Amino acid sequence: MMCNDLWLKRIKKEFDSLWSCTVLGDTLKLTVPYVTLYNEFVDLYVTKRDNKYIVADGGQLNDFLIELKSKDNKLLNDCISLYMKEYNIHKTLGDQRLMYFKKTTDEFYLGTSVLHMSEFIKSVYSLIKIDSHQKEDKEVDTESDIFRKDATKFVNDIYGSHDNYQVSFNQRINNIKVSCEINSLKGKNLLQFITGGSEYYYRSFINNTSADFSVLNSNSAINEKIVLLDDRSDVYKKNKEQLDVYILEMASNLTRQPIFWSEKNKLTEYIPL
């Protein structure tokens, strides 16, 4: 089939049919042929104040950001700032609602204002959707997350309320990340929870801990350097032989033999109550 300009006519007709408007007081609500990733058409509000044409979002964008608690999201804020700068969009606060708008004194540029505001709203909404989608994916606990949670609870149950000890999690010592610090008047005890979603990550975690703990050798304030290894995960069970070699290697940089989850109560032998 030969291509022909009837296609363009047909497409244009369909696009044109999407425009619509409603008069609300002194404002024209305009629906434009732009769609967000939420499959919603973009609405704009157009009015005239002191010979200036205003094209505003009506406050919906900020309401939506608040609703999704995305207000402090860096990516979204950067995106909004860039659009505002690029398209000369401003914001104003009225009656608890933050509005984004563009203004022009010349009717000649009204179309440009509508295009810029449409692009802006469409893009930010779509980015919000992408962002919340990623968050949802992250919300599912992996096997490693569950191990970390269980290990945290286990340590907290033993030492958390003990008078002689102070427990803190996810600490940094000389920029080295440690899962847990169990400190007493006698000094610091470091405990690393080791797990991994794959053989590669598990092994990397062992090697990093080994190197990190070795670097901390000179730190005299540290009494014990201990690891708690996840031996109930499939990753460990399937790669036991390879991983055990690395665990053995790591042991020389520890103050105690590595503890496996299945024998976790050994911890109280190393750090007595």
Interacting residues toward other proteins by CB under 8 A: 13-15, 17-18, 20, 24-27, 31, 35, 39-43, 45, 47, 49, 52, 54, 56, 58-59, 63, 66-67, 69, 71, 90, 92, 94-97, 99, 101, 103, 136
Task: Report the residue number, 25 or 272, with the smaller CB distance to other proteins.
Answer: 25
Least distance in angstroms from the C-beta of 70 to other proteins: 11
Task: Report the residue number, 100 or 147, with the smaller CB distance to other proteins.
Answer: 100
Q: How far apart are CA 156 and CA 220, in angstroms?
A: 25
Least distance in angstroms from the C-beta of 35 to other proteins: 4
Q: Is 180 exposed, middle or buried (0-12, 13-18, 19+ CB in 10 A)?
A: buried
Least distance in angstroms from the C-beta of 43 to other proteins: 5
Query: Cβ neighbours of residue 209 under 8 Å, at least 6 residues apart?
Result: 192, 194, 227, 250
Task: Report the residue number, 66 or 75, with the smaller CB distance to other proteins.
Answer: 66
Task: Report the residue number, 28 or 251, with the smaller CB distance to other proteins.
Answer: 28
Q: Is 133 exposed, middle or buried (0-12, 13-18, 19+ CB in 10 A)?
A: exposed
Least distance in angstroms from the C-beta of 51 to other proteins: 12
Task: Report the residue number, 122 or 203, with the smaller CB distance to other proteins.
Answer: 122
Least distance in angstroms from the C-beta of 96 to other proteins: 5
Going by C-alpha positions, the residue among 232, 9, 39, 42 that lies closest to residue 121 is 42
Beta bridge partners of 20: 31
Work out the angle between the directed axes of helices 110-139 and 60-67 (0-180°, nearest 10).
Answer: 10
Q: How far apart are CA 105 and CA 50, in angstroms?
A: 9
